[in-house]
Amino acid sequence: MNLEAPAGDGADLVARSRALLDRHWRAAGYTVPNEAVYPWQWLWDSCFHALVWNRLGRPDRAIAETRRALGAADPTGFVPHMIYEGVGPDTDFWGRPHTSSITQPPIYGHTLAELHRTGTEVPGDLVAAARAGLVHLLAHRPRHDSGLIPLVHPWESGCDDSPRWDDTLQGDWSRDAWRVRKSELVAEIVRGAGGAPLRNPHFDVAPVGFNALVAFCARELCTVAPDAELAGLADQLASSICGRWDPGAATWVDAGETETGSGRVRTLDAVLALLVDDTPGRVGSAARDLVEPDAFGSPWGPSGVHRAESSFDPVTYWRGPVWPQLGYLAWLALERLGRSAEAAVVAQGVVAGATASGFAEYWDPDTGGGLGAIPQSWSALAALFVDG
């Protein structure tokens, strides 16, 4: 397969990204992922939008959007993954009005670090709110025996239909059965006195991907404001993640009830362990996989699932398509590890995919054809990879 993606026009891509984000900006101070399918604020989406706003010369919007996301936190630092505006679902569903009661990967640590690196002043209240969100996960949510932080719900991973969770479904995975199970799992979350989610006895999973993002984003926040306690917590978590590499499976393995089965499926979110594990042999193997066409590589960016997995399906939500925000994070890991050749292939693929798919939520790694919500704001991350 030819890994050369069609060359795009950078200025045009930037102009289209700006038009998309402008259209999706809301006066309340955030960007909707999609006007019809996702008409509210989502936590990790907003953290990615803020990176794009900053790239587009609107750090004010980057700050505003991050502030609104973190402003929904409760006194324990728990940050909900959705903030509704106008009509949301019944309060009964989440057990509270206005916001959800689970979280998503705390990308805000990276976002604030990136703003800081590019010369945008990061207000102290945002650093404090981000720290509280990270400490909530690192110190208040009870740990799994493995040392990893457990999820209370697959939605917390941001990758909710990933084959990594398949073993938690009794019986064969199907999108419909999983949809029903995902709703049931919300009611089974065990919460603290103020309602923050603590654990889920019916979803005993502590994934390396989510944990790598927590450890990485905590370290990132420490580059904005040195913080020995936070750095110590991040180092400890990172060392637990490094212990999860399995040379036979050639991936990092999740802890919990999926450990001996679906928790070993080679998914892209697990490869994000590269953000905290720089062991040379692993880096070589994972970096190669990210660009090899018989693994994750495609001209349209890295697929969400390794092609050799029996669950790989190039067109089904979280079962194989390319996701631009995961592509961005994979690129970031490669860049930081000095793997610039593979990083360039990933970046070029995300640009080609975002362009070909019409800025889709996710797309087919075989054709670049758009899937899910179109257009979706986080596709504009491609603007970070071009000049213009």
Task: Kindly determine how many residues on this chain lie close enough to bind ligand GLC according to the rule CB under 6 A.
Answer: 7
Q: Is 30 in the site for ligand GLC (CB under 6 A)?
A: no
- Beta-bridged to residue 41, according to DSSP, are 83
Using alpha carbons, select from 270, 139, 153 the residue that is nearest to residue 211. 270
Interface with ligand GLC includes 160 (CB under 6 A)?
yes
- Identify whether the C-beta of residue 363 lies closer than 8 Å to the C-beta of residue 352: no
Nearer to ligand GLC, 13 or 107 (CB): 107
Taking the complex as a whole, the smallest distance from the CB of residue 54 to ligand GLC amounts, in Å, to 19
Alpha-carbon span 122 to 64, nearest angstrom: 11
Cα angle value 95/71/110 (rounded, 5°): 110
Binding string, residues 310-349; x marks residues near ligand GLC by CB under 6 A: ----------------------------------------
Judge residue 68's burial from the number of C-beta atoms within 10 Å of its C-beta, 0-12 exposed, 13-18 middle, 19 or more buried: middle
For helices 324-336 and 280-291, give the axis angle rounded to 10 degrees: 140
Q: Choose the binding region for ligand GLC from 42-50, 178-186, 202-210, 295-303 (rule: CB under 6 A).
A: 42-50
Among the listed residues 344, 331, 380, the one whose alpha carbon sits nearest the alpha carbon of residue 359? 380
How many angstroms separate the CA atoms of 292 and 128, rounded? 41
Least distance to ligand GLC from the beta carbon of 33, Å?
A: 4
Task: Report the residue from 30, 42, 331, 359 that binds ligand GLC according to the rule CB under 6 A.
Answer: 42
Which CB atom, from 269 or from 277, has the smaller least distance to ligand GLC? Answer: 269
Which of the stretches 37-45, 187-195, 297-305, 379-387 binds ligand GLC when contact is defined by CB under 6 A?
37-45
- Please identify which residue in 8, 29, 33, 304 interacts with ligand GLC, judged by CB under 6 A: 33
Which parts of 140-159 interact with ligand GLC (CB under 6 A)? 158
8 Å CB contact between 95 and 191: yes
45 or 167: CB nearest ligand GLC: 45
* Residue 38 C-beta: closest distance to ligand GLC, Å: 4
Q: Kindly tell me which of 8 and 154 has the beta carbon lying closer to ligand GLC.
A: 154
By CB under 6 A, the residues from 66 to 125 that bind ligand GLC are none
Question: By CB under 6 A, which span of 36-44, 54-62, 205-213, 329-337 interacts with ligand GLC?
Answer: 36-44
138: which residues sit within 8 A by CB, 6+ positions away? Answer: 149, 214, 218, 230, 233, 234, 237
Smallest separation (angstroms) from ligand GLC to the CB of 124:
28
Structure tokens at 205: 């999973």
The beta-strand segments (E) located in 113-265 are 190-191, 197-199, 205-206, 245-246, 251-252, 255-256
Q: Which of 16, 25, 29, 38 binds ligand GLC (CB under 6 A)?
A: 38
Q: How far is the CB of 44 from ligand GLC (least distance, A)?
A: 6
Residue with Cβ nearer ligand GLC (44 or 385): 44
Using DSSP's 3-state secondary structure scheme, residue 79 falls into coil
Q: What are residue 31's DSSP bridge partners?
A: 25
Which residue, 102 or 238, has its beta carbon nearer to ligand GLC?
102
Helices and strands counted in the chain (H then E): 13, 12
Q: How far is CA 115 from CA 53, 239, 328, in A?
A: 10, 27, 16
210 binds ligand GLC (CB under 6 A): no
Q: Which of 5, 29, 31, 44 binds ligand GLC (CB under 6 A)?
A: 44
Give the DSSP H/E element, type plus range, for residue 30: strand 30-31
> Exactly one of 29, 30, 41, 45 binds ligand GLC (CB under 6 A); which one?
45
Alpha helix ranges (H) inside 199-319:
208-224, 228-242, 268-271, 280-291
| Between 160 and 309, CB nearer to ligand GLC | 160
Taking CB under 6 A as the binding criterion, the range among 40-48, 116-124, 130-138, 233-241 that sits at the site for ligand GLC is 40-48
For binding to ligand GLC (CB under 6 A), which residues are involved? Answer: 33, 38, 42, 44-45, 158, 160
